[in-house]
Homo-oligomer: A and B are copies of this chain.
Amino acid sequence: MNTVTILGYGNVGQALSAAFSSLSDFEVRQIYCRTPQNLEETPPFEVVSDLQKLAEADLYLLCVSDDAIEEVSNQLPFNDRLVAHTSGSMPLSILNNQKCKGVFYPLQTFTPGKQIPWAEVPFCLEADRDEDLKTLKKFCSPLSERVYELNSEQRKKLHLAAVVVNNFVNHLYYRGEELCKSHGIPFEILHPLILETAQKITEVTPYDAQTGPARRNDQKTLNSQLSQLMDTPLENLYSILTDSIIATYERKEL
């Protein structure tokens, strides 16, 4: 039996503990939670609120906020068991007080109450020692085949790229919706196009998938569209994104 203890029971901790408990050969040994009385539901696992009460496990997964990782790691009553954090932006070295340390970063948005399609979730692993990396792989490979080894610098850049393709993209959806709403247009008209645009770049590169007036440097359409957005929150975004697209294709097609 492979045992894991989950420290922190927010979105990531809940999702991972549910995932491991669904696997045969894997057991969630304990959940550590500082204030269990604040949990909405009692977890179906042994819960401890005192780090001194942690039992032996093969892996201790820190699912706490980025700011708390170092502190919790320092307070652990051992320094010779495998401890891994689950953060995209924190380096492995933040666990330097531990002899056996790793990173176990599932790159996905965790929405409470929503089923995670684990088989689709990429895991980014890092460890200093081969045997620790092997243990981390043992724990994620039953969940997903998408396993990547990235160092801390790469993971930090990946996290930043995720901000671009997730947070910023979502904000453009918001601005598109706002534009629709202000003219009485149901935003759902755009849902199929949004899904198609996302699907497309899994088949062709975003460079080749680019279409639209900026791609063609069609100044007549660009000026007409920009003038429609004067004095709206989209005016500035339209200019900057259009310039960035034009620069991309000018540069490469010289």
What is the bound-complex CA distance between A77 and B229, given in angstroms? 39
Does A75 belong to the interface (CB within 8 Å)? no
Report whether A195 and B190 are in contact in the complex, using a CB–CB cutoff of 8 Å. Answer: no
Q: Assign chain A's interface to a size class.
A: 35 or more
Which of B164, B179, B225, B228 lies in contact with A176, CB distance below 8 A? Answer: B164
| Beta-carbon nearest neighbor of A197 in chain B | B166
Contact B107 A170 (CB under 8 A): no
Residue pair A185, B221 in contact (C-beta under 8 Å): no
Q: Is A241 positioned at the interface, with any CB of B under 8 Å from its CB?
A: yes
Q: Write the chain B residue with the least CB distance to A116.
A: B196
Q: Of B150, B154, B171, B210, which contacts A210 at CB under 8 A?
A: B171
Are A241 and B245 interface neighbours, CB within 8 A?
no
The interface residues of chain B lying within 8 Å CB-to-CB of A163 are 212-213, 225
Given that A164-B175, A225-B163 are known contacts, is A158 also in contact with B170, CB under 8 Å in the complex?
no
The reply to whether B172 and A165 contact each other, CB–CB distance below 8 Å, is yes
Contact at B189–A122, with CB atoms within 8 Å?
yes
Copies of this chain, tallied across the complex:
2
A146 to B195, CA, bound (A): 15
- The reply to whether the CB of A160 lies closer than 8 angstroms to some CB of chain B is yes
Interchain CA distance A164-B156 in the complex, whole Å: 28
Question: Which single member of B177, B197, B214 contacts A205 (CB below 8 Å)?
Answer: B177
3 A-B pairs with the lowest CB-CB distances in the bound complex, closest first: A167-B212, A198-B198, A174-B206
Least CB separation from A166: chain B residue: B197
Given the complex, which residues of B lie within 8 Å of A212, measured CB to CB?
A: 163, 166-167
CB within 8 Å of B: which A172-187 residues: 172-177, 179-180, 183-186
Pair A154/B171 contact, Cβ less than 8 Å: no
Binds B, one of A31-39, A132-140, A232-240: A232-240
Contacts A170-B206, A211-B166, A215-B167 known; A148 to B193 CB distance under 8 Å?
no
A22 at the interface (CB under 8 A from B): no
Chain B CB within 8 A of A199 CB: yes
A30 CA / B63 CA spacing, docked (Å): 64
Distance between A195 CB and nearest chain B CB, rounded to angstroms: 5
Name 17 interchain pairs, CB-CB below 8 A, sorted by A.
Answer: A89-B221, A107-B190, A107-B192, A108-B192, A124-B189, A157-B183, A158-B180, A158-B185, A161-B190, A162-B190, A165-B193, A169-B172, A173-B209, A176-B206, A194-B202, A198-B199, A240-B240
CB contacts (< 8 Å) of A171 on chain B: these are 206, 210, 214, 241, 244-245, 248
